[in-house]
């Protein structure tokens, strides 16, 4: 038997430093928990510290290239998406410091799970090896199922189970897809798959398409693309509000990056079948998501369907295949992150741990009736988040929409641009509905304290950060765009 | 004076934020002071405006998103100068005449923010900045109609928002496409309108983009058949909302045609002038008839607004300096007169909580001062000589008379029809004996109502008798605009002809790869540009050695 020779230099340990940091945080929390029971303030601070350290490592080391026997691939898009994941997590974690006591935050495991999940998604975006992507995806997802279930209400258990079932199904699909790609090309590395397929000019087209279909289904579940979106509203409703907001951002950006790596060259191939598939999927996702959001009574379910629609909107970037579109995708998601987390945090602030607002919903529209007269600042903030999601300038998501629609026009997808614009016009109705309730209706009989009982300084801080970003986004676009552009171009997309 | 336009945009918004600290008793005085300062500063704009110079003045340009060609780019010319002054003036007047008391702080804050967006639209020279203010203006208006309105206020507010938003998105696609064309032509991203003016396009592309932008503008004007939101919005809006909506917000649409459509798409504007004129005539005649059928005073004035905006569109698409100048002047006079009329209806609504004409009669004997001011405004609205309404209306019609006398004649019925429905309103409500007991004790105009209405009345009379100080800069700007359109067509023609010449003179081997359809396209462009020039030449005296 040959001895295995390790060359530490060739391992390029730097490539996994940010993940190591996050994983180290998780292990640290578990170890501390063995020794001494501590409160959630401590865990939140420790988690934030480790996340901050990971962000520092990511930005400072200028890691690039491959590591770990070519399994890791830290390129520009990996850096941007890791940054979105880490910043999203950093905004999420202080939301655990609620005014009320929620059971899940008592456990140190909650925070450990959370950091494991973050590391899982980080691995998922920093590899072009189908197996490592799979492991990252499953690590992240399994931890997430647990986090959802720990919210510890009947609906949460249902949500976790539903998500788990769907996730397991998607995992099977993913395995089938990888299998077919391996069978056709003899490799599980996307780069090699690409070069082999392009060299033999898509020899086994039927098999490749079958594999692609499996992959679209697998990622479709994660990205909540129509028709694999049905779990979304139930799971969001069962999960705690910040968790739902988190789910609408972080796992999806990870999914987008994998989709970008895998489908980009397939969509750009001459036969055009994959591009058409993606076109149909993206258009269906944004349109059906929008139409279903129109008829919801609960704000959380509305936001769930709206996030389906946003995912469809961003999915178009992959079928356009231009650099501008890919830049637009990350720009859009970064802007969407602040807005959507802000909106969900606002719901979180108005949550009571045991009492539900009415028989059916925690956050029906009627709960927010006349909010401007009782809690004007909160109402104005929530109004801004809604306007931003609707794409009203000058709020954050508008600039993403502008850039994406422009990308569609520039890549000769004029009809797609029109559909995207019309969808924005439909979407404005249901965001406006909440604004109408908050600003134009008279207050319902409640005394108004429900709007902020759960609020504490950290929650308000996160909200303020999100709101400031949403208002002042116009000045952040230029630096953001520059950063994203450099990284996307550097990684060749 | 370098940042006067930025001051004009952001001063009201900053003042609105500080207004939250002011107590409820003094908030109205505060808002009046803020808008008065704003108005005085905008007058400063006029006194420092160089009437002799052409092009944009008070220009500010700061790059915002450089890699995508978006910059904070402001400036005004003869068109926007007076519209900005009208905006600041009408905002001030509407607050002086305000009688609303519920939740006053929020109302005034949204009004000041609305003022920011309105001024922003008229001074922006970057399409994205224009669009930002254009869309943002919907939000405070939504709140004003929805929160302080009456009846189906929420339905009206949401309808207003959705209609305009949907139209604007089509406009946004058009704008992004123009930016894309500009990028293709020059290799540089730019959303500056002055850059876009230089862009040359073939006619078919111009027509599509013209339509895309026109949908956005048409909803705002509102042009037939996109006008259905307006009666609802006016019917349910509080008085101050109606005043601002009629006086300023509608003008954004017609301003858009002048700022974007005419100079960027000269060929399409000429090509589509008759269809646009037909739509305008439908607006004029149809809505005037609808106005006659109304029983509610406010609805009469709302429909008359659409009718008058039809004349504005008609004048704009006369594509000569009289028509365009007249339509801009009509925008100003309609802003003042319809604003005043809505305010007058608000006065009676405050007293009786009804606007139905059948409830009134003989008001002239109970409220003589009110009746006099109403009468003057009514004459202005009808377009009686020596009122402000006359000048703009007649100039617009004269402008279109040069294009097509018959259509101008049909449009001229606006004056007759206007007289019919307005005098009908006046007769039913003001003349005769006081039939309704409830009307006997009505108070005449209060001091604050007088303070708001008398300046408007004075303006309507003064500018009706001596419009020259305003008309002259506007006419100069419209002459320049027509000139620009003509020479843009000429430049496109010349470059196309040059291309054809090169093709014909090139040696046989070099032109093989050129598709014959491309050559046909260029030949077609030559024909189109020639037609544009011929028609512009025909309708304008300025090319014939005139003024």
Phi, psi of A102 (to 5 degrees): -110, 140
Q: Does the CB of A380 have a partner CB in chain B at under 8 Å?
A: no
Q: Does the CB of A429 have a partner CB in chain B at under 8 Å?
A: yes
* Option in A410, A432, A477 nearest B65 (CB): A477
- Determine the residue of chain A that is closest to B169 in CA distance: A421
A62 to chain B, minimum CA–CA distance in Å?
24
- Determine the residue of chain B that is closest to A387 in CA distance: B139
Distance CA B241, CA B343 (A): 10
Distance CA A153, CA B518 (A): 68
Paired residues of B65 in beta bridges? B70
Phi, psi of B413 (to 5 degrees): -60, -15
A&B contacts, CB < 8 Å: 89
ipTM confidence? 0.92
- Determine the residue of chain A that is closest to B180 in CA distance: A410
Question: Is the Cβ pair B64, A387 closer than 8 Å?
Answer: no
Q: Does the CB of B274 have a partner CB in chain A at under 8 Å?
A: no
A180 pLDDT more than 90? yes
pLDDT at B547: 42
A353 pLDDT more than 80? no
Element (H, E) at A213: helix A205-222
Select the residue from A290, A440, A488 to test the B interface by mutation, using most B Cβ atoms within 10 A. Answer: A440
Place of tokens 């796992």: A251
Q: Does the CB of A97 have a partner CB in chain B at under 8 Å?
A: no
pLDDT at A2: 67
Residue A143 burial (CB count, 10 A): 21
* Option in B143, B146, B180 nearest A409 (CB): B180
Name every chain A residue with its beta carbon within 8 A of the beta carbon of B154: 436, 440-441
pLDDT band (50, 70, 90) for residue A64: low
Name every chain A residue with its beta carbon within 8 A of the beta carbon of B180: 406, 409-410
Residues in chain A, overall count? 493
Assess contact for A363 and A347: CB atoms under 8 A. Answer: yes
Note which residues in 94-133 of chain B have CB less than 8 A from chain A. Answer: 103, 106, 128, 131-132
C-alpha B485, offset from chain centre: 21
| 3-class secondary structure, B383 | coil
Question: Is the Cβ pair B147, A440 closer than 8 Å?
Answer: yes
Select the residue from A325, A332, A394, A395 to test the B interface by mutation, using most B Cβ atoms within 10 A. Answer: A394
Helix axes B368-382, B321-352, angle to 10 degrees: 150
pLDDT at A213: 92
Residue B248 per-residue DSSP state: I
Q: Does the CB of A439 have a partner CB in chain B at under 8 Å?
A: yes
Q: Does the CB of A409 have a partner CB in chain B at under 8 Å?
A: yes
Nearest partner of A191 among A203, A180, A206, A181, judged by Cα: A181
Distance CA A473, CA B201 (A): 34
Select the residue from B121, B161, B170, B182 to test the A interface by mutation, using most A Cβ atoms within 10 A. Answer: B161
Name every chain B residue with its beta carbon within 8 A of the beta carbon of A481: 65, 67-68
Q: Does the CB of B139 have a partner CB in chain A at under 8 Å?
A: yes
B79 to chain A, minimum CA–CA distance in Å?
25
Name every chain A residue with its beta carbon within 8 A of the beta carbon of B147: 439-440
pLDDT at A103: 81
A306 pLDDT more than 90? yes
A445 pLDDT more than 70? no
A418 to chain B, minimum CA–CA distance in Å?
7
DSSP B98-125: ----TTHHHHHHHHHHHHHHHHHHHHB-
Distance CA A62, CA A42 (A): 31
Select the residue from A393, A414, A484, A489 to test the B interface by mutation, using most B Cβ atoms within 10 A. Answer: A393
Average pLDDT over residues A162-174: 93
Place of tokens 């529209």: A365
Which phi-psi region, left, alpha or beta, contains residue A129 (left: φ > 0; alpha: ψ -120 to 50)? beta
Q: Does the CB of B135 have a partner CB in chain A at under 8 Å?
A: yes
B153 to chain A, minimum CA–CA distance in Å?
9
A283 to chain B, minimum CA–CA distance in Å?
17
* Option in A373, A410, A440 nearest B154 (CB): A440
Q: Does the CB of A488 have a partner CB in chain B at under 8 Å?
A: no
Residue B43 burial (CB count, 10 A): 13
In sequence order, the 6+-apart residues with CB closer than 8 A to the CB of A412 are: none
A29 to chain B, minimum CA–CA distance in Å?
43
Average pLDDT over residues A337-353: 89
Question: Is the Cβ pair A477, B165 closer than 8 Å?
Answer: no
pLDDT at B177: 93
Question: Is the Cβ pair A425, B183 closer than 8 Å?
Answer: no
Q: Which tokens in the block code for residue A250?
A: 């972080």
Across all residues in chain A, what is the average pLDDT? 89
Q: Does the CB of B180 have a partner CB in chain A at under 8 Å?
A: yes
A339 to chain B, minimum CA–CA distance in Å?
18
pLDDT at B497: 87
Phi, psi of B58 (to 5 degrees): 55, 35
DSSP B163-225: HHHHHHHHHHHHHHHHHHHHHHHHSS---BHHHHTT----HHHHHHHHHHHHHHHHHHTTPTT
Question: Is the Cβ pair B132, A393 closer than 8 Å?
Answer: yes
What sign results for the dihedral spanned by CA atoms A162, A164, A168, A170?
A: positive
Select the residue from A383, A439, A480 to test the B interface by mutation, using most B Cβ atoms within 10 A. Answer: A439
C-alpha A230, offset from chain centre: 17
Average pLDDT over residues A287-310: 92
Assess contact for A130 and A85: CB atoms under 8 A. Answer: no
What sign results for the dihedral spanned by CA atoms B99, B101, B105, B110?
A: negative
What pLDDT, in 10s, does the model give residues A458-470? 899 999 999 999 9
Q: Which tokens in the block code for residue A357?
A: 């607002």
- Determine the residue of chain B that is closest to A475 in CA distance: B64
Question: Is the Cβ pair B153, A440 closer than 8 Å?
Answer: yes
Name every chain B residue with its beta carbon within 8 A of the beta carbon of A387: 139
Nearest partner of A104 among A65, A69, A153, A172, judged by Cα: A153
pLDDT band (50, 70, 90) for residue A258: very high
User: Which one is predicted more confidently, A444 or B183?
Assistant: B183
Question: Is the Cβ pair A478, B64 closer than 8 Å?
Answer: yes
Phi, psi of B192 (to 5 degrees): -70, 130
Q: Does the CB of B169 have a partner CB in chain A at under 8 Å?
A: yes
A482 pLDDT more than 60? yes
DSSP A412-456: T-HHHHHHHHHHHHHHHHHHHHHHIIIIISPP-SS-SGGGTTT--
Question: Is the Cβ pair B169, A421 closer than 8 Å?
Answer: yes
Q: Spell out the per-residue pLDDT of chain B, length 547, in tens.
A: 788 899 999 999 999 999 888 888 889 999 999 999 999 999 998 898 888 888 888 989 999 888 888 999 999 988 999 999 999 999 999 999 888 888 888 899 999 999 999 999 999 999 999 999 999 999 999 999 998 988 888 999 999 999 999 999 999 999 999 999 999 989 889 999 998 988 888 888 999 999 999 999 999 988 888 988 998 899 899 999 999 999 999 999 999 999 999 999 999 999 998 999 999 999 999 999 999 998 888 999 999 999 999 999 999 999 888 899 999 999 999 999 999 999 999 988 888 888 888 888 888 888 888 899 999 999 899 888 888 888 888 899 988 988 888 988 998 888 888 888 988 888 888 888 887 778 787 888 888 888 889 999 999 999 989 988 888 889 888 888 888 888 888 888 888 888 888 888 887 777 777 788 888 888 888 888 888 888 888 888 777 654 4
Select the residue from A372, A391, A436 to test the B interface by mutation, using most B Cβ atoms within 10 A. Answer: A436
What pLDDT, in 10s, does the model give residues A116-163? 999 999 999 999 899 999 999 999 999 999 999 988 788 888 999 999
For the entire predicted model, the pTM comes to 0.93
pLDDT band (50, 70, 90) for residue A46: very high
Select the residue from B176, B181, B185, B237 to test the A interface by mutation, using most A Cβ atoms within 10 A. Answer: B176
Q: Which tokens in the block code for residue B544?
A: 């014939």
Name every chain B residue with its beta carbon within 8 A of the beta carbon of A429: 158, 162
Q: Which tokens in the block code for residue A368?
A: 């927010």
What pLDDT, in 10s, does the model give residues B21-34? 888 888 999 999 99
| 3-class secondary structure, A65 | strand
């Amino acid at each position: 038997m040959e001895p295995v020779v390790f060359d530490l230099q060739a391992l390029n340990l730097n490539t996994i430093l940010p993940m190591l940091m996050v994983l180290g945080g998780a292990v640290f929390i578990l170890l501390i928990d063995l020794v001494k029971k501590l409160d959630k303030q401590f865990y939140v601070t420790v988690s934030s510290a480790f996340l901050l350290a990971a962000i520092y490592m990511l930005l400072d080391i200028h890691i690039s290239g491959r590591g770990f026997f070519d399994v890791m691939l830290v390129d520009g898009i990996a850096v941007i998406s890791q940054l979105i994941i880490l910043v999203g997590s950093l905004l999420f974690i202080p939301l655990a410091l609620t005014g009320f006591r929620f059971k899940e935050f008592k456990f140190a495991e909650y925070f450990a799970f959370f950091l494991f999940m973050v590391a899982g998604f980080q691995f998922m975006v920093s590899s072009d090896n189908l197996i490592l992507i799979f492991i990252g995806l499953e690590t992240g997802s399994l931890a997430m199922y647990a986090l959802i279930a720990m919210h510890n209400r009947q609906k949460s258990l249902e949500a976790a189970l539903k998500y788990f079932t769907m996730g397991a199904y998607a995992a099977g699909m993913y395995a089938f897809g990888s299998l077919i790609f391996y069978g056709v090309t003899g490799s599980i590395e996307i780069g090699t798959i690409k070069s082999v397929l392009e060299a033999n000019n898509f020899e086994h087209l039927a098999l490749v398409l079958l594999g692609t279909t499996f992959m679209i289904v697998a990622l479709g579940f994660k990205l909540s693309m129509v028709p694999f979106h049905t779990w979304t509203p139930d799971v969001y409703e069962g999960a705690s509000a910040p968790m739902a907001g988190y789910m609408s951002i972080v796992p999806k950006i990870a999914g987008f990056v994998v989709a970008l790596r895998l489908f980009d060259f397939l969509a750009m191939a001459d036969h055009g079948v994959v591009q058409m598939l993606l076109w149909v999927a993206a258009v269906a996702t944004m349109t059906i998501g929008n139409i279903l959001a129109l008829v919801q009574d609960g704000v959380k379910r509305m936001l769930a369907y709206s996030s389906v629609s946003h995912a469809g909107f961003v999915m178009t970037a992959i079928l356009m295949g231009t650099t501008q579109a890919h830049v637009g995708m990350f720009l859009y998601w970064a802007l969407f992150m602040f807005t959507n987390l802000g909106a969900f945090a606002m719901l979180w602030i108005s949550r009571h741990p045991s009492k539900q607002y009415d028989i059916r919903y925690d956050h029906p529209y009627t709960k927010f009736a006349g909010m401007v007269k009782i809690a004007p600042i909160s109402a104005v903030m929530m109004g801004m988040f809604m306007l931003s999601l609707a794409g009203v300038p000058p709020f954050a998501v508008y600039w993403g929409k502008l850039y994406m629609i422009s990308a569609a026009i520039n890549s000769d997808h004029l009809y797609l641009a029109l559909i995207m614009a019309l969808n924005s016009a439909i979407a404005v109705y249901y965001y406006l509905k909440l604004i109408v309730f908050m600003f134009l209706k008279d207050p319902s009989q409640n005394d108004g304290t429900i709007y902020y009982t759960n609020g504490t300084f950290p929650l308000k801080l996160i909200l303020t950060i999100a709101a400031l970003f949403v208002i002042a986004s116009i000045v952040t676009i230029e630096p953001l765009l520059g950063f994203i552009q450099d990284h996307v171009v550097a990684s060749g997309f | 004076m370098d940042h006067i336009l930025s001051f004009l945009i952001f001063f009201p918004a900053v003042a609105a934020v500080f207004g939250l600290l002011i107590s409820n008793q003094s908030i109205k005085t505060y808002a009046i002071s803020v808008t008065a300062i704003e108005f005085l500063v905008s007058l400063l704009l006029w006194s420092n405006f160089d009437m002799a110079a052409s092009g944009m003045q008070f220009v500010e340009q700061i790059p915002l998103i450089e890699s995508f060609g978006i910059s904070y780019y402001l400036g005004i010319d003869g068109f926007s100068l007076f519209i900005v002054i009208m905006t600041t003036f009408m905002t001030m007047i509407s607050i002086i005449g305000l009688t609303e008391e519920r939740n006053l702080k929020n109302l005034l804050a949204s009004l000041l923010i609305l003022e920011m967006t309105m001024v922003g639209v008229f001074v922006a020279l970057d399409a994205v900045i224009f669009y930002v203010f254009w869309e943002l203006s919907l939000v405070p208006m939504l709140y004003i109609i929805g929160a302080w309105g009456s009846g189906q206020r929420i339905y009206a507010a949401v309808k207003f928002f959705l209609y305009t938003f949907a139209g604007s998105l089509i406009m946004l696609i058009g704008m992004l496409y123009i930016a894309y064309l500009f990028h293709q032509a020059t290799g540089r991203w730019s959303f500056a309108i002055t850059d876009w003016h230089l862009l040359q396009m073939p006619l078919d592309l111009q027509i599509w983009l013209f339509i895309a932008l026109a949908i956005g503008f048409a909803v705002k004007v509102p042009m037939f058949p996109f006008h259905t939101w307006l009666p609802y919005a006016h019917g349910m809006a509080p008085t101050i909302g109606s005043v601002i909506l009629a006086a300023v917000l509608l003008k954004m649409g017609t301003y858009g045609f002048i700022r974007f459509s005419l100079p960027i798409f000269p060929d399409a504007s000429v090509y589509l002038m008759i269809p646009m004129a037909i739509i305008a005539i439908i607006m004029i005649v149809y809505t005037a008839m609808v106005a006659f059928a109304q029983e509610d005073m406010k609805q009469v004035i709302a429909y008359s607004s659409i009718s008058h905006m039809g004349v504005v569109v008609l004048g704009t698409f006369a594509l000569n300096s009289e028509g365009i100048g007249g339509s801009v002047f009509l925008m100003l006079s309609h802003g003042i007169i319809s604003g005043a009329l809505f305010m007058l209806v608000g006065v009676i609504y405050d007293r009786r909580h009804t606007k139905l004409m059948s409830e009134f009669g003989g008001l002239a004997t109970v409220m003589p001062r009110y009746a006099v001011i109403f009468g003057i405004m009514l004459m202005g609205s009808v377009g009686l000589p020596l009122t402000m309404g006359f000048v703009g209306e007649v100039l617009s019609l004269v402008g279109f008379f040069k294009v097509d006398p018959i259509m101008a004649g049909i449009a001229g019925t606006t004056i007759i029809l206007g007289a019919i429905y307005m005098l009908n309103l006046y007769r039913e409500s003001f003349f005769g004996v006081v039939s309704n007991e409830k009307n006997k004790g009505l108070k005449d105009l209060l001091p604050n109502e007088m303070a708001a209405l008398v300046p408007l009345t004075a303006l309507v009379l003064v500018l009706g008798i001596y419009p020259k100080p305003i008309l002259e800069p506007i006419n100069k700007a419209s002459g320049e605009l027509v000139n620009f359109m003509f020479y843009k067509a000429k430049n496109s023609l010349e470059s196309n002809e040059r291309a054809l010449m090169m093709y014909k003179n090139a040696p046989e081997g070099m032109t093989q790869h050129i598709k014959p359809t491309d050559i046909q396209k260029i030949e077609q462009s030559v024909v189109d540009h020639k037609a544009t020039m011929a028609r512009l030449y025909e309708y304008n005296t300025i090319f014939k050695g005139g003024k």
